[in-house]
Structure 1
């Protein structure tokens, strides 16, 4: 698999690794993650919250998993064996997943946008209460999974 080396205006090679590994960790595409408007913010937030060497170790192991995989199934297996089974990278991977889904790092929201754009709302086919309303007359449309 190929690592995106430059996305938007971020020249940092590891940012590309972060985005490439975030996609299979979350089950969303890199474009979907980028569309949250939080990719660069999350990357910089992590760099400011944990020791840089620890984050770089996680990204190097992720890079090896990505580069050694030819198919999504191989990448999934590599993530399971090389990242999620490794005590030094498991917690960071879990924190990255939580960051994308809930917009929180260690229980605190990164910013207002991180709450609004959490991936959890897409999975639930809902909107974040008090932040991003579904729109005028949306109540007149049956929910997608409605049995009624």
Structure 2
């Protein structure tokens, strides 16, 4: 029970591990993830949506991966062998990726902001329809990947 109360504190070490593994899995920096305004929300949402022991196991394995990796290549290889190769941890990693990119957990949006701040919009160089408009006269600017 102590570990559950400790995890709920976003100033705790486990929150930092969550952010570090999120950075490694999404390819976005911790600062970019924090700028969504959803880091703490996602952390506490995940904890409240599943068995705490499962989340703790994922974070503990992730912590060990970071502690035992001394280069970016080694980190990628260790994530592949320690997290992605394990079916349970792979499933958890997929859920973490999905929550950041789509703002959903098991098919449902976390909140209104999670739709607006999904990383998918940055990757597509787009905006979430109906939520964040591109701005006045934005139709006059060629798309980022335009060949015309």
Name the TM-score class by shorter chain.
over 0.9
TM-score, normalized by length of structure 2? 0.92
Distance 2:71 2:111 in 1: 35
Unaligned runs of 5+ in 1: 1-8
Match of residue 30 from structure 1: 30
Aligned partner of 2:4 in structure 1 is none
Superposed CA RMSD in Å reads 1.0
Distance of 2:58 and 2:10 partners within structure 1: 19
Structure-2 residue corresponding to 1:6: none
- Unpaired runs of 5+ residues, structure 2, are 1-8
TM alignment of 1:1-148, pairs within 5 A: 10-148=10-148
- Residues 52-78 of structure 1: CA deviation (Å, up to 9, x unaligned): 000000000000001100111111111
Larger fraction in helix: 2
Moved segments of 4+, more than 6 Å: none
* Number of equivalences: 140
Q: TM-score, normalised by structure 1?
A: 0.92
| 1:135 aligned counterpart, secondary structure | coil
